[in-house]
């Protein structure tokens, strides 16, 4: 604050007196080098601003934390509390949510367009997506798949060493290229942060499709298909 006032032309002595800061403490602080922790927090604040702007000012700290750790393709290691603190310090706030109610485990928290009715009469009316993990000699890899509820065939898939939004976007893109669905189809998944990410939601809507979310752990499990079947 003092630096900003001084840059605007205000005398240092007057700024310190008004803000109740000892003059020697102010100069001592200026001589102290910026630590690596301070630099990282400034860097994180910049990323938080980017995500917040991309969400048109709607995301709170939970959604921004999900984008930083899973949705931006960078797998940034940061806890949600740090994101909340940095947002508060920078004056960044999301839109207020609905009135808080008690959430029960397994209760749907977003619109479900399927309601566990997976039978379809034509191709591309309903796609179901899920992620599995597999151990290899090089380490864990993750596979995202998109299944057509009508044919029960995998129409799109993607494999990567990271379990982020890019993984499921790539699987969806393959399905779109292979099937070229008409507008109005549904893409159904669970509430994993990869599926609820802003980037995947935008990709689904831009293709003329509708996102749908069941309870946590739904997806391909609800189709009665063993999870290993998509590998």
Least confident of 34-43, 57-66, 98-107: 98-107
Read off the pLDDT of residues 143-155 as tens digits, 9 standing for 90 and up. 999 999 999 999 9
Structural domains for the chain: 2-90 (no CATH), 126-230 (3.30.420.10)
Taking CA 220 as the corner, what is the angle to CA 73 and CA 151, rounded to the nearest 5 degrees?
110
* C-alpha Rg value of the chain to the nearest Å: 24
């000699």: which residue's tokens? 137
Read off the pLDDT of residues 45-90 as tens digits, 9 standing for 90 and up. 988 888 888 888 888 888 888 888 876 555 788 888 999 999 998 8
User: Alpha helices of 112-226 — where are they, by DSSP H?
Assistant: 165-179, 198-206
The dihedral built from the CA positions of residue 50, 54, 58 and 61, taken in this order, carries a sign that is negative
């Amino acid at each position: 604050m003092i630096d900003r006032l001084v840059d605007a032309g205000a005398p240092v002595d007057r700024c310190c007196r008004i803000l109740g800061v000892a003059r020697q403490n102010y100069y001592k602080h200026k001589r102290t080098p910026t630590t690596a922790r301070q630099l990282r927090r400034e860097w994180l604040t910049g990323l938080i601003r980017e995500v917040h702007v991309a969400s048109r000012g709607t995301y709170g700290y939970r959604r921004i934390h999900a984008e930083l750790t899973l949705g931006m393709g960078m797998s940034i290691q940061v806890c949600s509390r740090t994101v909340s603190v940095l947002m508060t310090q920078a004056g960044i706030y999301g839109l207020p949510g609905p009135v808080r109610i008690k959430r029960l485990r397994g209760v749907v928290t977003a619109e479900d367009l399927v309601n566990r009715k997976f039978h379809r009469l034509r191709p591309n009316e309903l796609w179901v997506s899920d992620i599995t993990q597999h151990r290899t000699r090089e380490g864990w890899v993750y596979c995202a798949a998109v299944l057509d509820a009508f044919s029960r065939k995998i129409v799109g898939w993607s494999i990567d060493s990271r379990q982020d939004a890019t993984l499921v976007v790539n699987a969806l893109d393959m399905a779109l290229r292979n099937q070229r669905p008409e507008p109005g189809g549904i893409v159904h998944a669970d509430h994993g942060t990869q599926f609820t990410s802003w980037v995947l939601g935008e990709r689904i809507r831009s293709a003329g499709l509708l996102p749908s979310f069941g309870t946590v752990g739904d997806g391909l499990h609800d189709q009665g298909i063993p999870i290993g079947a998509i590998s």
